[in-house]
Amino acid sequence: MISKPFSFLAACMTAASFVTCATAGDLPPDNPFASPSPLVFQTPQFDRIRDEHFRPAFLEGMRLQLAEMDAITAQTAEPTFENTITAIEKSGALLTRVRNVFSNLTSSHKNDALQAIETELAPLQAAHSDNILLNRSLFARVSSLWDRREQLGLTTEQQEVLKQHYEGFVRAGARLTDEQQVRIRALNEKISLLETKFEEHLLALLKERSVVVDSVAELDGMSELDISAAAEIAKARGLSGKFILEISNTTRVPILTSLNNRALRQRVWEASAYRGLGRDGGVDNRPLVLELAKLRAERAQLLGFDSHAAFKLQNQMAQTPAAARKMLTDLAPGVMERVRQEARDLEQMVRASGATHELAPWDWEYYAEKLRKARFDVDESQVKPYFELNSVLENGVFHTMNLLHGVQFRERTDLPIFHPDVRVFDVLEKDGTRIGLFFFDPFRRETKRGGAWMSSFVDQSGLLRERPVVVNTLNIPRPGAGEPALVSFDNVVTLFHEMGHGLHGLFSDVTYPSVAGTNTPRDFVEFPSTFQEDWAIQPAILANYARHYKTGERIPAELLERVVKASRFNQGFDTLEYLSAAILDLEWHSLTPDQVPADVEAFEAATLKKYGVHHPAVPPRYRTSYFAHIWSGGYSSSYYAYIWSEVLAADAFAFMQQQGGATAVNGEKFRREVLSKGSSRDPMESYKAFRGAAPTVEGLLIRRGLK
């Protein structure tokens, strides 16, 4: 997942970073945001940054950027690309500095002070965006360039930058009447407040819905390391002698695979699946969701679109909700048939165990793990000792990036960090030249939202002579004191996935920051990351990092083979829980304001049945009340992008295997044609430049074990 900070261009792209060397006129010099950081690549001065620095830096940053926009419109010279578009690209240095740090901290290490600032600033940032994108004089200059674009002699990248700026103004409402613009401003302010509130609620829910267990006997089936970690969490919350099982950001909770106590499994699953519904007087996200759906639908109609989904997908690869929906529903029949077969297999396991109960959602992963073990003789507790976090990172992820791209990751401890868990690495070319910096923040904590994502503190730009500083954030369960961090194979794959995003930012090689790195359409941005996942199960690579944490012995070849085969197991379940969530997203955002229902849960159930993706034991990966991607994470109408991108990734990976696999030649071509380009040209052109042809779905079906 990509997590990008607010940008005034957020209406037309994922984010844009604008960094110049200007200083902040009215900001005290002791504020660390007042001038560019003197540290390498302008990495933030976390040892100096305090909560009280953010608010004044934001306010001054917005004031300065509006002054820069006024200077652009005050020019008497005819608009040129340089005096208008390049000037916009260079604007907002202070705002970018503070926004990039603030966005990352409010996601990964939020406290009450930051939350209060976030709530206060949300409407101000929305208004700031509107003050730029609804500026008629500024739009007139951009529009003049757009009308004369064929005569300007622009490079391919400049053409794309101009196109995105022009469309950004139009999509924000620059051509609306004054009265309509007043309404757009009000809608944007309200939407930003609700999105911020939803994000706050999610963090509260992770703690609210944690399951407290009184005795170790109830944890039968869990490993000693997991039990120790649960005890440590309880102790940290003042519950010594008890145990706390934390829920994940998804509906499924990994610990369900090992809990023998069915009643406790049900408690854990329900704690996850029913969050945000206001049960037992807890946090209720349903009013937020319904209001967001209505406001987004109204805004889309005001901008001339049938729905929010139509608005969001216009400038994506899919282009229309119908195209995205068709891809999902075309997969549904085959996936449902696989799920029904998997369910029959699990029901047999239930009966074989002597139980008589029906297969429930809290049973699926438990019995699936038993079936996986029986079918492939792979036990998670047997495998985990070979997946020690540091080995996976250095001997797996970093090793693979070296094979493909020749880069090295060299840890350094001389730079300030925002939490003791964080590690920092120089990223180096073969000749030792620094590419950028990589921050790594692996462990779950109460101040961090769920999930895994990549973001950046500094984006690459040739125009601004900036090198990238990126961060990968995960939620791996923290081990007990003195214990090794042994990770699940799912987390292994996540490490490779997020590094794919990281490389997309690190290898960016464009001139203009608005098209750099991961600033691409949502249904393309997950392609480079998903592509990297499959290296995790390549036998030669897996054998290099899968070493027993005590003995250092490599994972036995026979066990390795079973692990790889088992990774294709349960794909019907995995695919269906994703499909149902993606369909829910599109359905919510295809509504008109009048069509938004009053009952969230009834709408969910009706939608899943309508599209043939309902199965009583396989809930959506995210239910509406905690679907962070679409309500606060920037993926509204775009959750389908993961599988759309997976089509590209599976096809590209199969092609690279045909060309010799993890070779420097293949890696260099992927870096040159895909990773370095951002959105400086049409994404499909980048794909074809690497692959030589458009993708087919064949690789996806094989990748998911559906063919």
pLDDT tens, 504-521?
999 999 999 999 999 999
The answer to whether residue 152 scores a pLDDT higher than 50 is yes
The answer to whether residue 674 scores a pLDDT higher than 60 is yes
pLDDT of 563? 84
pLDDT of 22? 40
Domain boundary among 155, 175, 195: 175
Question: What is the CATH number for 443?
Answer: 1.10.1370.40
What is the average per-residue pLDDT within 661-670? Answer: 96
Least confident of 103-112, 146-155, 160-169, 374-383: 374-383
Count of positions (residues) in the chain: 707
CA angle 452, 308, 287 (to 5 degrees): 70
Residues 113 and 232 in one domain: no
What is the average per-residue pLDDT within 393-408? Answer: 97
Arithmetic mean of pLDDT over the chain: 93
Q: 525: closest CA among 515, 535, 513?
A: 515
Given 3-state DSSP classes, what are the helix, strand and coil percentages for the chain, each rounded to the nearest 5?
55, 5, 35
pLDDT of 10? 36
311 falls within a domain: no
User: pTM for the full model?
Assistant: 0.89
Q: 440 forms bridges with which residues in the sheet?
A: 423, 472
pLDDT of 461? 97
The answer to whether residue 68 scores a pLDDT higher than 60 is yes
Residues 249 and 110 in one domain: no
What is the average per-residue pLDDT within 321-328? Answer: 95
645 falls within a domain: no
498 catalytic per annotation = yes
% of the chain residues with pLDDT over 70? 97
Residue 118 banded pLDDT, cuts 50, 70, 90: very high
What is the average per-residue pLDDT within 550-576? Answer: 89
pLDDT of 24? 52
Domain housing 222:
209-273
702 falls within a domain: no
Element (H, E) at 560: helix 557-566
What is the average per-residue pLDDT within 127-141? Answer: 97
Residue 213's SS3 state is strand
Q: How many domains does the chain have?
A: 3
Residue 481 banded pLDDT, cuts 50, 70, 90: confident
Q: What is the residue-wise DSSP string for 499-544?
A: HHHHHHHHT---SSGGGSTT-S-HHHHTHHHHHHHGGGG-HHHHHH
181 falls within a domain: no
Residues 458 and 520 in one domain: yes
Residues 72 and 216 in one domain: no
pLDDT single digits (tens) 354-367: 999 999 999 999 99
pLDDT single digits (tens) 44-55: 999 999 999 999
CB count within 10 Å of CB 76 equals 4
Domain boundary among 273, 307, 322: 273
44 falls within a domain: yes
The answer to whether residue 11 scores a pLDDT higher than 50 is no
pLDDT of 65? 98
- DSSP conformational letter for 254: G
Report the distance separating Cα 66 and Cα 64, nearest Å: 5
Q: 658 forms bridges with which residues in the sheet?
A: none
Domain boundary among 566, 592, 610: 566
Residues 389 and 538 in one domain: yes
Residues 233 and 167 in one domain: no
Residues 110 and 61 in one domain: yes
Residue 625 banded pLDDT, cuts 50, 70, 90: very high
Residues 553 and 463 in one domain: yes
Least confident of 101-105, 158-162, 279-283, 491-495: 279-283
pLDDT of 593? 98
pLDDT of 5? 62
Handedness of CA 630, 670, 499, 511 (dihedral sign): negative
Residue 618 banded pLDDT, cuts 50, 70, 90: very high
Q: Which candidate in 167, 365, 498, 587 is catalytic?
A: 498
C-beta of residue 622 within 8 angstroms of C-beta of residue 635: no
Handedness of CA 183, 185, 186, 187 (dihedral sign): positive
Residue 143 banded pLDDT, cuts 50, 70, 90: very high
85: its two tokens: 């578009």
Residues 527 and 398 in one domain: yes
Residue 705 banded pLDDT, cuts 50, 70, 90: confident
DSSP alpha helices (H): ranges in 173-249? 178-208, 224-236
Residues 137 and 223 in one domain: no
Residues 424 and 559 in one domain: yes
602 falls within a domain: no
425 falls within a domain: yes
Residue 385's SS3 state is helix
401 falls within a domain: yes
What is the average per-residue pLDDT within 323-348? Answer: 94
Residues 229 and 170 in one domain: no
Report the distance separating Cα 125 and Cα 7, nearest Å: 8
DSSP alpha helices (H): ranges in 353-448? 361-376, 380-383, 389-391, 399-405
